[in-house]
Amino acid sequence: MIQPSEDMIRILFAYRLELKDSDGFTHDWCTLIPSLEMAYATSIHSSTGKTPAMLEKGWNPRLPYDTIKKDLVDINPTASCFKLILDKARDHENRCMQDSFKYAKERWDKSHKPPNFKVGDLVLVSNLNFNNIKGPKKLKDSFAGPFMIKALLGPHSVQLELTGELMNKHPTFPVSLIKPYSSSEK
What's the pTM value of the predicted model, to 2 decimals?
0.41
State how many domains the chain has: 3
Residue pair 160/177 in contact (Cβ under 8 Å)? The answer is no
Q: Are residues 138 and 106 in the same domain?
A: no
- Model confidence pLDDT, tens digit, residues 52-106: 888 888 888 877 666 665 565 555 657 667 778 888 888 898 898 999 999 999 9
Burial of 128 (0-12, 13-18, 19+ CB in 10 A): exposed
DSSP line for 12-36: HHHHHHHTB-TTSPBPPGGGGHHHH
19 domain residue, yes or no: yes
186 domain residue, yes or no: no
185 domain residue, yes or no: no
Which amino acid would we find at residue 2?
I
If you average pLDDT over residues 128-143, what whole number do you get?
Answer: 73
Which residue range is the domain that position 17 belongs to? 1-41
CA gap 146, 123 in Å, rounded: 5
151 domain residue, yes or no: yes
29 domain residue, yes or no: yes
117 domain residue, yes or no: no
Q: Are residues 108 and 142 in the same domain?
A: no
